[in-house]
């Protein structure tokens, strides 16, 4: 079983390393389409942050839930009330919103029922979006049930999505 301390000593080789339950997941650099979607979502969240006092960030950035649960979501958003979770070197508590863009190497982990989906629900991330870059479908989840490791509310957007927990936040992906 690996820990966050082990990740701190990993080589700087451009691979994304994440731990879920102490199990290591490594993924290659994302595709240009993946990064375009990250850009689109980040822009919407950054604009929203300027109006609401929150903060939007993007990978690579460690979110350290526990010593054995460390992930690098594609895009993160923190309400003004949750900004204290952002530390000098990592995030140390649940963001207000996490966005993952699917890729061939992460689809099973990120999608509903996957390890990240379950982790985010258990760590009480209030809202979780999963974007499919091929179809531009956005699956959004809200109301985490920590005990069950799942979300109670699921809604879908086709190329755009409106937040269930952040009033007035809309994002379009292309």
Q: Is the dihedral of CA 169, 117, 130, 56 positive or negative?
A: positive
CATH of 4-172, one of 3.40.50.2020, 3.40.50.10420, 3.90.1570.10, 3.30.70.360: 3.90.1570.10
Strand segments, DSSP code E, in the chain are 16-20, 23-27, 55-58, 63-66, 69-71, 75-78, 97-101, 127-131, 137-145, 150-158, 160-162, 170-172
Q: Report the C-alpha gap between 5 and 169 in whole angstroms.
A: 36
What is d(CA 140, CA 127) in angstroms, rounded to the nearest whole number? 7
* Annotated domain spans of the chain: 4-172
- Give the pLDDT of residue 167: 96
At residue 13, the pLDDT reads 85
Q: Within 10 Å of residue 35's Cβ, how many Cβ atoms?
A: 15
Instruction: Give the separation between CA 84 and CA 127, rounded to whole angstroms.
Output: 18
Per-block mean pLDDT, blocks of 10 residues, the chain (174 long): 94 90 93 96 98 96 97 98 95 97 92 96 98 96 97 95 96 93
Beta bridge partners of 99: 75, 129
């Amino acid at each position: 079983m690996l820990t966050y301390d082990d990740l701190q000593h990993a080589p700087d080789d451009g691979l994304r390393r994440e731990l879920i339950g102490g199990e290591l997941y490594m993924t290659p650099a994302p595709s240009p389409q993946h990064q375009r979607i990250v850009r689109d979502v980040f822009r919407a969240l950054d604009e929203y942050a300027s109006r609401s006092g929150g903060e939007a960030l993007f990978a690579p950035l460690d979110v350290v839930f526990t010593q054995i649960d460390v992930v690098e979501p594609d895009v993160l958003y923190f309400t003004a009330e949750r900004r204290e979770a952002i530390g000098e070197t990592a995030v140390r508590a649940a963001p207000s919103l996490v966005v993952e863009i699917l890729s061939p190497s992460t689809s099973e982990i990120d999608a509903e029922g996957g390890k990240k989906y379950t982790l985010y629900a258990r760590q009480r991330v209030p809202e979780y979006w999963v974007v499919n870059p091929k179809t531009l479908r956005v699956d959004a989840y809200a109301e985490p049930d920590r005990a069950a490791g799942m979300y109670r509310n699921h809604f879908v957007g086709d190329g755009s999505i409106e937040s269930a927990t952040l009033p007035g936040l809309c994002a379009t992906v292309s």
